[in-house]
Structure 1
Amino acid sequence: MFRKTALFAASAAAMTFTGWAAQAGDPAAGEAQWRQCRSCHMITAPDGEVIQRGGRVGPNLHGVIGQRAGSVDGFRYSEELAAAGNSGLVWDEASFVAYVEDPTGFIRQQSGNDRARSPMNFQMRSGAEDMYAYLATFSN
């Protein structure tokens, strides 16, 4: 309980200073949902600290919020996601939530290609705002 309370307090302070105070999600609820993401993703700080263990199929999610889409060094993205990032797509709350709720639909909309597919086949049915708020605690 202490860890979740401390996490929430830290994230609330971080959001106030970074301008993310208007987000709708609950970081503690997002942390509780991490099990849905860990088979493909991890959260590892730049100094190597492992915050959340996970797979390496998907990119490291440390610092993803506010980052240009398709830009984690050393990760191979789909052509369409990389192009969207190169065109200015940044993971803000609206884009992140839309992507995790329907990755292929999001990529098709962004690219204008009705045959485009996202390599992420998981769809988050609920709690996308909470996951956003949780990941925002590990972003500048």
Structure 2
Amino acid sequence: MISRFAALAAAMLIASPALAQTGDAAKGKAVFARCMACHAVDPGVNRLGPSLGGIVGRPSGAAPGFAYSAAMKKASIRWDAKSLDAFLTKPSASVPGNKMMFAGLPNPADRANLIAYLASAGRK
């Protein structure tokens, strides 16, 4: 029997052509090292950026205790593989006016791996 997490991960990967390859959460953890100065995956641990723990399935601008930009609050994004892939490609193009000062991840494999890691990290 396929686990609920495996079914969700498979559905997320099918949802985006850029994520046609299966992401590797272990490799994604290494990619996340670039994000750690501003983000944590522990739920409720906000830094310069919001906690990314449990981000998959969460609406944009909704991590408790974080002061989001007006642009992110108004974005009306439900974070899934497709929306995360678009955002991580170029945050300023995906949500113009957001506060994240990061150019993006141009490598599709890095994005797929990071999304796999985020889907598995910070769950309690």
What is aligned with 2:100?
A: 120
Pairwise CA distance, 1:14: 5.1
Question: Which 5+ residue runs of structure 1 have no aligned equivalent?
Answer: 1-11, 49-54, 109-116
Q: Which has the higher contact order (CA 8 A, sep 6+)?
A: 2
CA contact (8 A) 1:26 1:133 kept: yes
CA RMSD of superposed structures (Å): 2.3
TM normalised by structure 2 equals 0.77
- Measure the CA separation in 1 of the matches of 2:88 and 2:6: 25
Residues 70-118 of structure 1 deviation map (CA, whole Å, 9 limit, x = unaligned): 1001101111110123xxx10011110111111110113xxxxxxxx22
Paired residue total:
110
Question: Which 5+ residue runs of structure 2 have no aligned equivalent?
Answer: 14-21
- Where has structure 1 moved over 2 Å in runs of 4 or more? 12-17
What is aligned with 1:77?
A: 68
What is aligned with 2:55?
A: 64
What is aligned with 1:26?
A: 24
TM normalised by structure 1 equals 0.69
CA contact (8 A) 2:39 2:51 kept: yes
- Measure the CA separation in 2 of the matches of 1:90 and 1:75: 17
